[in-house]
Each structure stands twice: as C-alpha cells, then as structure tokens.
Amino acid sequence: MSSEKTLAGAAESGKLPAPILEARGLVKHYGHITALDGTDFDLRAGEVLGLVGDNGAGKSTLIKALSGAIIPDAGEILLDGQKVSFQSPHDARVAGIETVYQDLAVAPALDIASNMYLGREVRRKDLLGVLFRKLDYGYMRETATRHLMELGIGLKSVRQTMETLSGGQRQAVAVARAAAWGRRIIIMDEPTAALGVRQSGQVLELVQRIRARGLAVVLISHNMPQVFEVADRIYILRLGRRAAVLRPQDTTMADVVSIMVGAIEGDVSGRGPGAGATPTAAPSGYSLTSLDPHRS
Amino acid sequence: MTEQTPRLGSVDATPALQPGEPVWQVLLRSPVAGPLTALLLACLVFSLGTPTFFRTENISLIFQQSVVVGTLALGQTLIILTAGIDLANGSIAVLGMVVMAKYAVEGGDPIVALLLGFAVCMVMAGVSGTIVSRFNLPPFIVTLGMLTAIAASTRLYSSSTSYTVSPSLLTWLGNSIKVGGATVPYSIFVWLALFAGAHYVLTQTAAGRHIFAVGDNIEAARLAGIDVKRTLLAVYVAAGAIYAIGAWEALGRIPVADPNGYATANLNSITAVVIGGTSLFGGRGGVFGTLIGTLIVAVLGNGLTQAGIDSLYQQVAIGILVIVAVAVDQLVRRRRAS
C-alpha cells in the first residue's frame, strides 16, 4: 500500500507518472521468425509515446500484443501494476484500451453515429427496447455529436455516411471513436499514413487534444517530424527489442534513425532522470463525454 | 502548440452539428427513390394504356404472382446485404415443399410435415452459411454447389414424381379473404408481414446494423467486436426459414410439390433484389427496395400481357432494368468513393 501511495504522489507532482501500461520480456515467434525478443515497454499516464522502428522491427506485433489481437508466447503485461492477459481485442477494450487501426476500420456505407457505436449499440430503455431490441438512435446520435464537438471535429451531421467524408475526416472519426470508448489508453497505428500534409496536421492536433483530456496515447509512425512534434517520449524498437527510449528535446532525428537501423547503440535504460516524461498537461482524469450510457 | 481550434475538415464555419436534415433530401437520397419511381411510372402507363390493369382483382393477381419469388427474394436480400449471394434458395424451397408434401401424402401429420420442411430448409441454408463463414469460401461457388446437389437430391428423394397435397395446414396460406371485391390469400399478408419484420430488424436493431457492417467492411466489423461468423451463419439460417415460408406459400398457391418446379426462382429473386436497389457488393440496400423490385417484375409481366404484347418483351425489359440497376449502383459507389 505504502509504495503505491508514493507512486501516486510522484504522479501528482508531475515528476514521474506511474506507468499505466507495462510489458516485461514479451516474446512472440511466428514459425522460426522472432518478432518480439524479450521486449520491455512502458507507457505513462497522460503521455504521447512515439513508437518507431524499421520495417520488421516488431512494432505491429508489439501493439497487437498490447491490444489483445495476439497472445505473446512469453512475458507479462501489466495494467496499472496489475498483471493482465488479454485473450482478444475485446478484453483489451473492456480494460480501457482502444486501438485505431492503420487500414481505417470503418464501415463506409454506415453513418458516423452507427460507426462510433458499431458493436456497442445502445438499446432503448423502454418496453420497445426490452422486448423488441429497438435501438436508441436519438441517444446515440446526440452523444456522438457532443463527443465530436468536444474534440473540435466539425462535421455537418452524424447521419452522414462515412464515405461522404474526406480521408482526414474519416480518420478523425476513427480516432474520436477510440477516444470515446478508451478510458485509459489509445493505440494508433500509423494514423496519418494515408493522409495529406494538412489532414495529418489535424489528426496530430487531435492526438494532443486527447492527451490534454488525460488519455495516454501510443503513436506508431514512420514520419519522424510528426513523432518529434507530438511525442513526449520516443520508444525505438529494433529487432524485437527496446533499443532506446528518448525524449525528443534530448535527441535528433538523425540519432533516432541511427538507433533504428542499428548504426549506433541506444540508451536502453530509458529510466534515467533525463528520460522521465514531463507531460505538458498533468493527467486531468477522464473528462470527455462518454458514449456509454452506463458511465455517464 | 497552436491555440486555434482544429476543426477537422469542417464543412461550414459554424461548429454546430445539424442532427436533422430536410425530409425531401432524405427521400431523394434514399436508394428506393429510383425503383419506386419506376414502379409508379409502370403502373401509370399500364393503367392508362389498358382498361383491365387498374382493377382490384388484377392488383390482387399481381401480388399473388409475386408472393413466392418475393419471399425468396426477401431471404436473398439478407444474404446479399452481407456481400453474399444465394443461388440455391429456389432449390432449397423446392426441397422443403417436397419434404412437406411427401410426408403429408404418405399419411403424416401436416404439422409435423410443416416443421420438417422448415427444419430441412434451415439446415440446408445453414450448411451454406457454415461453409461461407467458417471456411471463407465465396458464397457464389458454395451456393452453386448447393444448388446442384440439392436439386439432384430432391429428385432422388421424390423419385422425380410430384406430390399433390389435399387441403390441410399445408395449403392453409392459399385460403383467402375478400378485400374490396378482390380475393386476397393469406400468403400475401404473411409476405407483407415478413417484409415489415425484416425491415424492422435491419433498421432498428443492433443485429441489423451488424448485418450491414459485415457486408460493408467485414474487417471493420470484426475489429469493432462483432462476431462476424455468428452473424453470417444467423443470416443464412434466417434466410432458410424464410425460404420455408416461401415453400409453404407455394403449396397454398398450387398444392403440388414438383421437384422440377421453381427452377429459375433463384435468378428471379436476385433480379428483384438488384432492381430494388440493394448492392451486390453488400452493405447497402434493404428489404423495402426488394418489395418494390419484386412488384416491378410482376407489374411489367402482367401489364404487357394485358396490353397484348408478347411476354418475351417483359424479359427483355427486365434484363435491361437489371443492367441499369447495377450500373446505377456502380455509379453511386464510385461517386461516393471519390
């Protein structure tokens, strides 16, 4: 108990926020390919962690393990210091971890509200809902609208189908959906890969807004300037292991790339005084409109 | 960090979202706008062009001619919405009819006969659904195989003979009531009730949203936590139950279970679905369009006959309509994608 209190106290003072999500010694083999080779990982409350690495470094495997999409062969994952074992993405979602997938997992012919509530539709509470499973469209549309506005996403109507939106708007809705349901952590796999410069900038601003609302974000990106722009810490993965964890202000893009490709050795500790995250905004707790009728 | 509010691709300057939009816009955008216009136009032309078309008795006849294929088309719609297709629906219904009729003719209880027919149809459609969902095989090929196997099995089972059922529960849907001087068999009410029920499930329940999502983007549906395999299987089994109702309606219309009957019902049902505006690529459309599509086919056939025109022209017209419907669907999809 006492050690927990110290950690919490440290988090409040903003010096060393406690890791909200931790992984120790993750191993994952695909046949005789080793994707994760004893990977350690830590994500702290209220930070944006940039996850970078060369192709095949194991980025996707790592986030799949953290989001429950795969089960690691060895190692453990801790959420708020408690050991967890996700058997499916559903388990991770229940624990408050949402993932925004690279290939934009939205249904284009469905409207925005339906997409934000896909798989989590809310039924009416009256007899129609109980007996005939009638959905509460009014509630879902209203809440989705409010949530999008809070994130500064301006759209004509949540009744628009996704296919009428631009690529940036679709990505914004996907990110907003994750932010709405993720109570703690949002994992984003290359959210700007398919976007133009302006739209990428908008998504990055959205990432910062989500952090300001107290959620921790793991941002996977190939785009080094973007990582340096928004990340509080940069985690470099190489050959399935943590090669270094750096703060953007302590390093340069050239160095990060060198560590990525193995040209120079990284600082594996990532826990030195310099590497401690000092989030720009202290975690303010969850303050977004929840889409979930059971939590609002 | 900038101070300005990022408004992602905002469409207008005001941040307020408009939850509603004018009704006429929604109607115009509605996918049934085209089919409905075509149906009303056809009815108008035939009403003005022939003295016999617009009579209650004739309207009732059009519905009676639509009911079996229309019911099969309803099940077909559910499957096409999941980006599938069912070439075996006619043969499943015929097998159901033969099972019901044979059991009753050989002295079995009509209630048991009816239940057996339902079970057979649901199992057969369930087999298609299982293969499609578990083994990820293309529905076109799976149901083509099922069509061949079921049609042949039906002939083997019946020794290629027809069974004529005597009036009983099996022909009950053929009973009718008088509505405004026209005879309206129960089967029409059953058909319309089925449409209303399916429409409700598709538009008002989570199960309906999931069917659209699976057909629209199966990977997104999976990642959203929807049990995609269960949804697919449930759709095929539900379609099987609807085919069984179609078989029941068919026995009410003509109390003969002919193993060689309804040979083109599968293609006719697909025609009705496509003309009704449901996309063959899945994820868009609905059963209301299929109702209209079925009626368009029947109205064209009936109207041209009333006008004394060779019914082969009906088939020419239907063929052109199918191509137009698919072209419109492609156009809409392409325009929205860009």
Residue in A203, A206, A208 closest to B1 by CB = A208
A19-30 vs A74-79, strand pairing mode: antiparallel
Query: Mean per-residue pLDDT for B113-126?
Result: 98
pLDDT value, residue B337: 65
Indicate which CATH number applies to the domain containing B70: 1.10.3470
pLDDT digits 0-9 by tens, B97-106: 999 999 999 9
- CB pair distance less than 8 Å for B9 and A169: yes
Chain B residues within 8 A of A134 when measuring between CB atoms: 204-205
DSSP, collapsed to helix, strand or coil, labels residue A43 as: strand
Q: How many CB pairs under 8 A join A and B?
A: 133
Task: Work out whether the CA dihedral B11, B14, B19, B23 comes out positive or negative.
Answer: negative
DSSP per-residue codes, B163-216: EEPPSSGGGGGG-EEEETTEEEEHHHHHHHHHHHHHHHHHHHSHHHHHHHHHHH
Q: What does chain B come to in residues?
A: 338
Secondary structure letter of residue B30 according to DSSP: S
- C-beta neighbour count of A177 within 10 angstroms: 25
- Percentage of residues in chain A having pLDDT higher than 70: 83
Residues comprising chain A, all counted: 296
Averaged pLDDT, B262-289: 94
- Please give the model's pTM, rounded to 2 decimal places: 0.84
- A-chain residues within 8 Å CB-CB of B10? 154-155
Q: Do A202 and B9 touch (CB under 8 A)?
A: yes
Residue A42 confidence (pLDDT) above 70: yes
Cβ–Cβ gap A121/B225 under 8 Å? no
Number of domains chain B is built from: 1
Chain B residues touching A101 at Cβ < 8 A: 223
* Nearest neighbour of B217 by CB, restricted to A106, A156, A168: A106
**pLDDT tens string B281-303:** 999 999 999 999 999 999 999 99
Sort out which chain B residues have CB atoms less than 8 A from A89's CB and list them: 223, 225
- The mean of the pLDDT values for chain A is 83
* pLDDT digit string, tens, across residues A208-245: 988 998 899 999 988 899 999 999 999 999 998 998 99
Question: The tokens of A3 are what?
Answer: 């050690």
If DSSP codes are grouped into helix, strand and coil, which group holds residue B1?
coil
* pLDDT at residue A263, rounded to an integer: 81
The boundaries of the domain holding residue B89 are 52-329
Q: How far apart are CA B150 and CA A193, in angstroms?
A: 49
In 3D space, the residue among A294, A291, A242 whose CA is nearest the CA of residue A270 turns out to be: A242
- CATH fold of A2-275 reads Rossmann fold (3.40.50)
Instruction: Say what the pLDDT of residue B135 is.
Output: 95
CA dihedral B140, B145, B151, B153 (to 10 degrees): -150
- Render pLDDT for B232-246 as a digit per residue (tens, 0 to 9): 999 999 999 999 999
- Determine what percent of chain B is predicted with pLDDT higher than 90: 74
A132-151 pLDDT per residue, tens: 999 999 999 999 999 898 88
User: Out of B1, B19, B216, whose CB is closest to A107?
Assistant: B216
Check residue B25 and give its pLDDT.
62
Q: Is the pLDDT of residue B26 over 70?
A: no
pLDDT at B233: 98
CA distance B61 to B183: 9
Of the candidates B18, B219, B223, the beta carbon closest to that of A156 is on B18
User: CA gyration radius for chain B?
Assistant: 22
- Asked if A101 contacts B223 with a C-beta cutoff of 8 angstroms, the reply is yes
Cα first-last separation, chain B:
33
Angstrom distance (rounded) from CA A286 to CA A278: 19
Confidence tier at B267 by pLDDT (50, 70, 90): very high
